[in-house]
Homo-oligomer: A and B are copies of this chain.
Amino acid sequence: MTISIAHLGPTGTYSETAALAYKNWLAKNQQQQAILSPQPSIAVALSSVVKEKVNYAVVPVENSIEGSVVITLDMLWEQTSLKILRAFNIPITHTLLSFNTSLDSITTVYSHPQALGQCQKWLESHLPQVQLIPANSTTESLKYLKEHSHTAAIASSRAAELYQIPILRSGINDRPDNCTRFLVVGSATSNCGSYLSLAFSLPKNVPGALVKPLQIFATRNLNLSKIESRPTKRSLGEYIFFMDVEGSLKDPLVQEAIAELEQHTEVLNIFGNYDLISVLSGVRGGKET
């Protein structure tokens, strides 16, 4: 059976690169064939899984510079049928694309706000006078290039190739170790990996209420590889806490910690217990299993 994988489209986005890498990983490691299903937004890609229109969605969750992709965290929290099956890191190299051949005559640079943020120092030193304009995706930013000759866009070198736009400068990201973590999200529960992702809310306005959940893991020597807070819908100052724990649900110590955690939280959602896979051979990512 061929499976379908939703991702943020159109062709040429980093999400497509990630989905394609995962498709190849599936073919090589699981002898599983897949087709890609580009979607207009991350939210719609995840909704397609909820509505069983596709088998999986491959979505970004965190970037080493800009931090969490909040829409992914919000959707995981709200749509409890969404489960994380695997995770992997993809290195991000930004290029400056333009039909103009000279840096000096660029007056405007378009890109996704996260890409603009990742190239901030380069832009300040090489293009201090330009206007930076956010677009909905790195690919969307390309459409402005044909309209005005003094514009440039920040996108991937793959987008340059696909849309046949000249590269003015490459590797313009401020740090070379820029990478984005992607999640493979489906609707089946996974409970035998080495990373456990969960989120919880706490009883309101109890000073130090977060101390207990952290102690539960610390006293068992379980490492938290991520902690992230997001405001609840109710008001500023009330948070949902997202955590990645290094451990397996098959480990009695982890089971014990989760049972104790349930007693000290208001709502507890377990997103999955999955592995961090390596989809690109020879590429330096984060900590890989």
Determine if A207 is an interface residue (Cβ-Cβ < 8 Å): yes
Q: How far is the CB of A66 from chain B (nearest CB, A)?
A: 6
Does A143 lie at the interface of the complex (its beta carbon under 8 Å from any beta carbon of B)?
Answer: yes
**Are A71 and B207 in contact, with the CB atoms below 8 A?**
no
A132 touches B41 (CB 8 A): yes
Q: Mark A112-139, 1 if CB is under 8 A from B, else 0.
A: 1110011010000000000111111100
Taking a contact as CB atoms under 8 Å apart, the answer to whether B237 and A74 are in contact is: no
Collect the chain B residues with CB atoms within 8 Å of residue A260's CB.
none
Task: Choose from B43, B62, B114, B227 the contact partner of A135 (Cβ within 8 Å).
Answer: B43
> Does A203 have its Cβ within 8 Å of any Cβ on chain B?
no
User: Within the assembled complex, what's the spacing in Å between the Cα atoms of A82 and B256?
Assistant: 45
The yes or no answer to A75 lying at the interface (CB within 8 A) is: yes
Q: A89-B236, A215-B211 are in contact. Are A65 and B231 (CB under 8 A)?
A: yes
Considering the chains assembled together, what is the distance between the CA atoms of A51 and B131 in angstroms? 13
A40→B108 CA distance, assembly (Å): 12
Q: Are B233 and A226 in contact (CB under 8 A)?
A: no
Q: Is the CB of A230 within 8 A of B67?
A: yes
Task: Give which listed residue, B44, B135, B211, contacts A133 with CB less than 8 A.
Answer: B44
| A78 touches which of B64, B113, B118 (Cβ 8 Å) | B113
- Asked if A207 and B224 make an inter-chain contact with CB atoms under 8 angstroms apart, the answer reads yes
Residue of B with least CB distance to A225: B237
- Which residues of A are in contact with B by a Cβ distance under 8 Å? 40-44, 47, 62-67, 70-71, 74-75, 78, 89, 112-114, 117-118, 120, 131-137, 140, 143, 174-175, 177, 179, 181, 205, 207-208, 210-211, 214-215, 217-219, 221-231, 233-237, 239, 286-287
